[in-house]
Amino acid sequence: MKAVILLSGGLDSSTVLYAAKANNIDCYALSFDYFQRHRQELDAAIAIAQAAGVVEHQIVTFDLRRWGGSALTDNSLALPTHRSVAEMSSEIPITYVPARNTIFLSFALSYAEAIGAEQVHIGVNQLDYSGYPDCRPDFLAAMQEVFRLGSKQGREGIPIEIVAPLVDRRKVEIVQMGQALGVPWAKTWSCYSEGGQTSPPVACGICDSCQLRLAAFSELNLDDPLPYTSRELRH
């Protein structure tokens, strides 16, 4: 079995990669440099891909700063910080990047068909934040139909399958899963702030992504090996 693994370098996608490796899948990692605010994740993706021993790791570059629309692509927009999980769940946050997973999956489909892969694995999770619109099962089902209709393989009756093993898992369950698989957490990166651009990189601990990650490790009584400016949790 051959699969393209969408790899951001974060906790979720790294767990997906290690799960695929555990299932003896030949993994071809695909990452994206879209000039995101948290570009440290690309270094993490490279490190994780190397640690997992992927067959190949491709990084695609394009610039989503051109039209912004998200705090991750427009530095003039403030990142949400110090928010409780309840606050995160109240609305789709400004860290949502318009149509990001549609873009990512389109590249993944092209790559997968070019190399003859049977699957594309993605670490989306509808329980994070308020459930980004492009992290939900109905979106994945629609994209699966795009995969069927928009590719040679699909039209010939052998569509490339979208695999989203984390879509219904809580963050604490994902950390449990990654822990069992031996994901090297110290090589991953979740923070949305520019702190990753310092030397050495330091996560802020107060953005939504840091808060969810820290809360999951705390609930499991595990030590998160990343350095943080703050480890104070909101409840």
CB atoms within 10 A of CB 76: 6
pLDDT in tens, 100-133: 999 999 999 999 999 999 999 999 998 765 568 9
pLDDT for the residue numbered 87: 77
Match 């899963």 to its residue by tokens. Answer: 177
CB 6 within 8 A of CB 120: yes
Residue 54 has pLDDT above 90, yes or no: yes
pLDDT for the residue numbered 233: 79
CB 216 within 8 A of CB 226: no
* Percentage of residues of the chain with pLDDT beyond 70: 95
CATH class of the domain at 2-219: alpha beta
Mean pLDDT value of segment 19-29: 98
Whole-number Å distance between alpha carbons of 46 and 66: 25
Which residues does 107 contact at the CB level (< 8 Å), separation at least 6?
Answer: 30, 32, 60
User: Domain residue spans in the chain?
Assistant: 2-219
- Mean pLDDT (the chain) is 93
Rounded alpha-carbon distances, angstroms, from residue 188 to 7, 13, 45, 46, 206 = 11, 9, 7, 10, 17
DSSP at 185: G
pLDDT for the residue numbered 130: 55
pLDDT in tens, 173-201: 999 999 999 999 999 999 999 876 677 89
pLDDT for the residue numbered 96: 93
Lowest mean pLDDT among 86-90, 145-149, 161-165, 191-195: 86-90
Mean pLDDT value of segment 39-68: 97
Mean pLDDT value of segment 12-23: 98
Mean pLDDT value of segment 64-77: 95
Mean pLDDT value of segment 36-52: 96
pLDDT for the residue numbered 131: 67
Rounded alpha-carbon distances, angstroms, from residue 117 to 21, 112, 126, 159 = 15, 5, 25, 10
Mean pLDDT value of segment 74-99: 86
Mean pLDDT value of segment 220-229: 96
Number of H helices, E strands in the chain: 8, 5
